[in-house]
Structure 1
Amino acid sequence: MKIAVCDDDKNCLDSIKRLLAEYPGISRIEYYQELSQLSEALENGTTYDLVLMDIEWEGNEQDGIAYAAQYNARSPQTRFIFVTAYNDKFSEKIFWEKVNLCGFLVKPVKKENLEKLLDKVREKIFSSEALILQHGGITEKIANSQIRYIESNAHQLLIHTISGEVSLYEKLDVYEKKLHKDFLRVHKSFLVNMQYIRRIEMKEVTLQDGTVLPVSKTRYSASRDKYFRYMRAML
């Protein structure tokens, strides 16, 4: 599990750092005292399974809730735990923002409360919809939400995830059937995860990171309609 902790209060950061050092199963932890640092990491392709986010940021136009909503627009699979000194001050605003929220922690953060929420997040990650891939003698589980798109070249597939690429021999039709709910077959050679789409046009689809993929003429109308239905359901 990859975690980022964002708080402009160094004392709070240090306290959470000590608590996380005792929690098993964390593969990577980064600590940020500026929201811009987390934004820069995202721009460079670094995403996290979980972000512990302070709500109040002194001197910033945005609070942590608004920032988390923007972050989730780019990285929908990232979960957030809000850290605050006020347990109900921002509760109404949270319901107006689209945030992948897993809970709250009230400062000063208590070990038992942090561990309960981390257990909850870890359970959600491992129980989420996923593909079981077998390639090169390796069996690997990849959450559907981690897949950006799948590319076909003859009988070989290249699965583009948020953390890299996986290559295996299989037909794209097989994965289209497995992933039909949240994926678009925009071309005979491309299957795209709708949560990473920025826009779809007659000849191409643009992903959130700027990747441009072709859209075949015969698949455009069906792809556009399915994507619009998906977007309406997200509102």
Structure 2
Amino acid sequence: MRAAICDDQPQALEELKKMLLRIPAVKKVHTYSDMNNFWATLKDGAYYDVVFMDIDWKQDETGIDFAGRLQEACPYTKIIYVTAYTLDYVEDVFLNHANLSGLLKKPVNQEQLERNLEKILREQSEAEGKLLIYYQGSHIAIPLQDILFLESRLHKSCIVLKKQEYLCNEKLETLKGQLDGRFLNCHKSYMVNMSYIREFRGREILLEENHVIPVSKARAKEAKERFFEYMSARM
């Protein structure tokens, strides 16, 4: 699990980071005391499973405002609010529930923190084997086994199935984290489901349904090796 903490108090950032790193499921924790740095990191392709968002910032926008913007940019990132003033924000929190997964009161209690993360881990487990995307105003889950390939198109991603395509706002780099070992990154703009490869043909891959996918020169050798390893393991 990849976590980010957004809080303008350095001591609060460090304390919560230490608590999170005691939890085995948490692999990475990044801290942000400046929201401009946080947005810049997301723009560069960073993805977090959960963001701990302090509500009370010393500026016009609150953490609740930031959470609304975060949901638009990363619709599958879960949000846990952190505040010393719980009662002051209860109504706003639940009226603007952008992917809300919890509300923690400062100072944060380790047991309550772990319970909140266990809830998120259960939800992730239930979604295992599926690609979650935000499409035409709804969250949908696409079984990985049904996906032929994913393609990056003008800062969006196209998920191609045998009979259907989904164009979503998430970047390909962001969606990669939901894919498993059957997907091959043969080109910076493509992720191919190796189960549907019919032939490696020079610098191209021929898929079922007659899709032809380019293979970049830099990735050609590794792509072929990975495909042969994948097919050997299935025999």
Residue 157 of structure 1, aligned match among 128, 148, 153: 148
Which amino acid letter does the alignment assign opposite residue 74 of structure 2? S
Residues 1:114 and 2:109 aligned together: no
User: Does the CA contact (< 8 Å) of 2:9 and 2:33 recur in 1?
Assistant: yes
Output one character per residue of 1:3-33: Cα deviation in whole Å (capped at 9) or x when no partner.
1011111111111111111101223211111
Name the residue aligned to 2:86.
87
Name the residue aligned to 1:7.
7
How far did 1:91 drift?
1.2
Output one character per residue of 1:167-206: Cα deviation in whole Å (capped at 9) or x when no partner.
9xx9522xx4xxxxxxxxxxxxx4224x759xxxxxxxxx
How far did 1:88 drift?
1.5
Residue 162 of structure 2, aligned match among 147, 172, 176: 172
Name the residue aligned to 1:31.
31
Which amino acid letter does the alignment assign opposite residue 89 of structure 2? F
CA distance change for structure 1 residues 88 and 143 in 2, over 3 Å: closer, same or farther? farther
User: Does the CA contact (< 8 Å) of 1:7 and 1:32 recur in 2?
Assistant: yes
| Equivalenced residues, count | 158
Name the residue aligned to 2:209.
none
CA distance change for structure 1 residues 50 and 146 in 2, over 3 Å: closer, same or farther? farther
Name the residue aligned to 1:103.
102
What is the CA–CA distance in structure 2 between the aligned matches of 1:61 and 1:111, rounded to whole Å? Answer: 30
How far did 1:146 drift?
8.2
Unaligned segments of structure 2, at least 5 residues: 140-146, 172-188, 190-235
Larger radius of gyration: 2
Unaligned segments of structure 1, at least 5 residues: 131-140, 149-155, 177-189, 198-210, 212-235
What is the CA–CA distance in structure 1 between the aligned matches of 2:85 and 2:151, rounded to whole Å? Answer: 41
**Aligned runs of 1:48-87 on 2, under 5 Å?**
48-58=48-58, 60-87=59-86
User: Could you state the TM-score of these two structures normalised by the residue count of structure 2?
Assistant: 0.60
User: Does the CA contact (< 8 Å) of 1:72 and 1:98 recur in 2?
Assistant: no
User: Could you state the TM-score of these two structures normalised by the residue count of structure 1?
Assistant: 0.60
Name the residue aligned to 1:191.
166
User: Does the CA contact (< 8 Å) of 2:21 and 2:27 recur in 1?
Assistant: no
What is the CA–CA distance in structure 2 between the aligned matches of 1:43 and 1:27, rounded to whole Å? Answer: 21
How far did 1:98 drift?
4.9
Classify the secondary structure of the residue corresponding to 1:5.
Answer: strand
Residues 1:42 and 2:42 aligned together: yes
Which amino acid letter does the alignment assign opposite residue 158 of structure 1? F
What is the CA–CA distance in structure 2 between the aligned matches of 1:100 and 1:44, rounded to whole Å? Answer: 22
User: Does the CA contact (< 8 Å) of 2:56 and 2:83 recur in 1?
Assistant: yes
CA distance change for structure 1 residues 113 and 67 in 2, over 3 Å: closer, same or farther? same
What is the CA–CA distance in structure 2 between the aligned matches of 1:92 and 1:16, rounded to whole Å? Answer: 25
CA distance change for structure 1 residues 160 and 125 in 2, over 3 Å: closer, same or farther? farther
How far did 1:87 drift?
1.4
Percent identical among aligned pairs is 28
